[in-house]
Amino acid sequence: MFNLIYRTPSNVKNDVLSGTTVALALVPEAVAFAFVAGLEPMVGLYAAFMMGLITSVIGGRPGMISGATGATAVVMVSLVAAHGAQYLFAAVILGGLFQILAGVLRLGKYIRMVPHPVMLGFVNGLAIVIFLAQMGQFLVKNEVGDKVWMEGEMLYTMGILIAITMLIIHFLPKLTTAVPSSLVAILAVSLAVPLLDLDARTVIDYVKDMLPAEQAATATLKGELPSFAIPGIPFTLETLRIILPTALILAAVGLIESLLTLTLIDEITGTRGRGNRECVGQGVANSVNGFFGGMGGCAMIGQSMININSGGRGRLSGITAALVLLGFILFGAALIEQIPLAALVGVMFMVVLGTFEWSSFRIIRKIPLSDAFVLVLVSGITVAFDLAIAVVVGVIVSALVFAWKHAQHIYAEKSIDENGSKIYALRGPLFFGSAANFKEIFTPEDDPNDVIIEFQRSRVSDHSGIEALDALAERYQKLGKTLHIRHLSPECVQLLEKAGDLCEVNVLEDPNYHVASDKLA
């Protein structure tokens, strides 16, 4: 029902219009995440502008939108509270350098190895997080300054405007795709509120509710161009000790969210982004943020989905979003402040409906129980804790399940050749999970004096496999028998150097195996 994906080619009109739509949706998100981190609203807006512009120009995924995000904002809270914004800017610069290093070392390719159930869990969990983040728009300050839920006429008005926004986004593409339905919905609701004299909360109302009472009266989103400044901190080892943990976590969280979002957009658009280039782009953008007073960030799945849904495919869409946002900050603050929150919430609700993999409910009973568990686990951890933790846990659990399953798959076909040697033609990988089963295959006491292990359809994967071979060779040696190992891959030969003269290794006919290639990135 809620199919938000249109595989349309990139063109200037689509990119400009979709970029303008994204810029409108960036404002409340950037402000909200700045408050989460304990920073001024303009720090979040500057971050959204610089992250969006730089990653769109030099990043590896055209059409993907970057900016200040909740995933990185929560990492910043403790550092800002304890040491202030200047230390955060230094940490953002250092985190950016780590991300550039990851791109130079070509680590972006490894995101391709994230299992599909983890990807499904990531998408579903993030959709729920985006939905829950919109609940903050339904909070208002009462007479004593406490935040309470909307009620009465204000709540009904908000709900009706959200519904109208969602209906326009859903049905307008059935009539015309000349303009992004999200942009039309935002403009229509923004015009309807003053014409009908409705009591609807606006973006500036939201900003005022986030600020202390003494600052709320003069609150504005108008700003100036960000200016260059070296963070005002002492350049000592003690400072490095303070900012290093935050910088490492920011770099890791930012890359994980960005690369997973890149992979998702690849699947949606049927195109291929470049993970290593995106690592460098994210790193440069974060480093520039630190020098120009921004809080940094990473890819934003919500705004990226708005862009893709609105027809944005090229780099121009992200560049337009960043420049239009800057235009709002410099010249159009009065206009952007009056946009009804309901319109932006309605857009994000449609993003939630389009992002969530509803097919999960249909396939969850048809896929292996372990995959279903990983899917639900990653979704739950993403909502309860953090995206990076969820993905790491999901990959670890998937790897352990894989290891357990493949530990049972090792076996050997036994035969005697014309020379009287016994051949064990091994099948399945030899690694930590299968080492115990591997040892049970052989019967040294009953074997002839010459034994050959054929590895043409097997491989040694880790140190546990090497140790298993060493132990087996020692058993044959104590019985005065000779063990030969044949047809190992070059990688296995390198691993088996520790075995020394216990094993005879024939490398003339060995096949080549490669787990990951830089071409994947």
DSSP string, 40-84: -HHHHHHHHHHHHHHHHHHSS-TT--EE--HHHHHHHHHHHHHH-
CA atoms within 13 A on the CB side of 441: 25
| Listed residue (397, 70, 55, 89) closest to 259, CA to CA | 55
Q: 480: which residues sit within 8 A by CB, 6+ positions away?
A: 449
Check whether residue 277 and residue 320 sit in a common domain. yes
Per-residue pLDDT tens listing for the chain (521 residues): 344 444 556 689 999 999 999 998 888 888 878 887 888 889 999 999 999 999 999 999 999 999 998 888 888 988 999 999 999 999 999 999 999 999 999 988 777 778 888 888 888 888 888 888 888 889 888 877 788 999 889 999 999 999 999 999 999 988 887 888 888 999 999 999 999 989 899 988 888 887 777 777 787 888 899 999 999 999 999 999 999 999 998 998 899 889 989 988 998 888 888 999 999 999 999 999 999 999 999 999 889 988 998 889 999 999 999 999 999 999 988 888 898 989 988 988 988 888 788 888 888 888 888 889 999 999 999 888 877 788 889 989 998 888 777 777 788 999 998 888 999 999 988 888 888 889 899 999 999 999 999 888 888 878 788 888 888 888 888 899 888 888 877 767 766 665 455 444 444 344 444 444 444 45
In a domain, 204, yes or no: yes
Check whether residue 387 and residue 500 sit in a common domain. no
Place of tokens 């391709």: 112
Structural domain for 189, as ranges:
12-397
In a domain, 180, yes or no: yes
Check whether residue 341 and residue 436 sit in a common domain. no
How far apart are alpha carbons 319 and 189 in whole angstroms? 26
In a domain, 515, yes or no: no
Would the CA dihedral through 246, 252, 257, 258 be positive or negative? positive
Check whether residue 245 and residue 375 sit in a common domain. yes
In a domain, 517, yes or no: no
Check whether residue 118 and residue 220 sit in a common domain. yes
State which of 374, 397, 420 marks the end of a domain. 397
Check whether residue 247 and residue 307 sit in a common domain. yes
Check whether residue 141 and residue 290 sit in a common domain. yes
* pLDDT value for 469: 83
What kind and span of H or E run contains 296?
none
In a domain, 403, yes or no: no
In a domain, 29, yes or no: yes
Q: 191: which residues sit within 8 A by CB, 6+ positions away?
A: none
Q: 297: which residues sit within 8 A by CB, 6+ positions away?
A: 33, 47, 48, 51, 66, 67, 68, 69, 72, 254, 286, 289
Check whether residue 342 and residue 224 sit in a common domain. yes
What kind and span of H or E run contains 504?
strand 504-506
* pLDDT value for 8: 56
| Listed residue (350, 372, 351, 353) closest to 361, CA to CA | 372
SS (H, E, C) 393-435: HHHHHHHHHHHHHHHCCCEEEEEECCCCCEEEEEECCECCCCH
The DSSP 8-state label assigned to residue 111 in this structure reads G
Check whether residue 93 and residue 229 sit in a common domain. yes
Check whether residue 355 and residue 420 sit in a common domain. no
In a domain, 4, yes or no: no
Check whether residue 342 and residue 264 sit in a common domain. yes
Number of structural domains (the chain) is 2
Check whether residue 393 and residue 412 sit in a common domain. no
How far apart are alpha carbons 403 and 407 in whole angstroms? 6
State which of 397, 419, 452 marks the end of a domain. 397
Helix or strand or coil: residue 9? Answer: coil
Would the CA dihedral through 384, 385, 387, 391 be positive or negative? negative
* pLDDT value for 404: 79
Q: For residue 434, give the CATH number of its domain.
A: 3.30.750.24
* pLDDT value for 3: 45
Phi and psi torsions of 66, nearest 5°: -115, 155
SS (H, E, C) 252-281: HHHHHHHHHHHHHHHHHHCCCCCHHHHHHH
Q: 157: which residues sit within 8 A by CB, 6+ positions away?
A: 198, 199, 200, 342
pTM for this predicted structure = 0.73
In a domain, 265, yes or no: yes
Instruction: Give helix 203-210 / helix 12-36 axis angle, nearest 10°.
Output: 20
How many C-beta atoms surround the C-beta of residue 218 within 10 A? 8
What's the Cα-to-Cα distance from 61 to each of 64, 246, 296, rounded to whole Å?
Answer: 6, 26, 18
The DSSP 8-state label assigned to residue 520 in this structure reads G
State which of 341, 368, 397 marks the end of a domain. 397
How far apart are alpha carbons 49 and 221 in whole angstroms? 13
> What are 262's two structure tokens?
């890149």
> What are 315's two structure tokens?
């780099």
| Listed residue (190, 193, 161, 188) closest to 172, CA to CA | 188
| Listed residue (356, 259, 367) closest to 4, CA to CA | 356
| Whether the Cβ atoms of residue 130 and residue 382 lie closer than 8 Å to each other | no
How far apart are alpha carbons 76 and 90 in whole angstroms? 12
Per-residue pLDDT tens over the stretch 215-249: 777 878 888 999 999 999 999 999 999 999 999 98
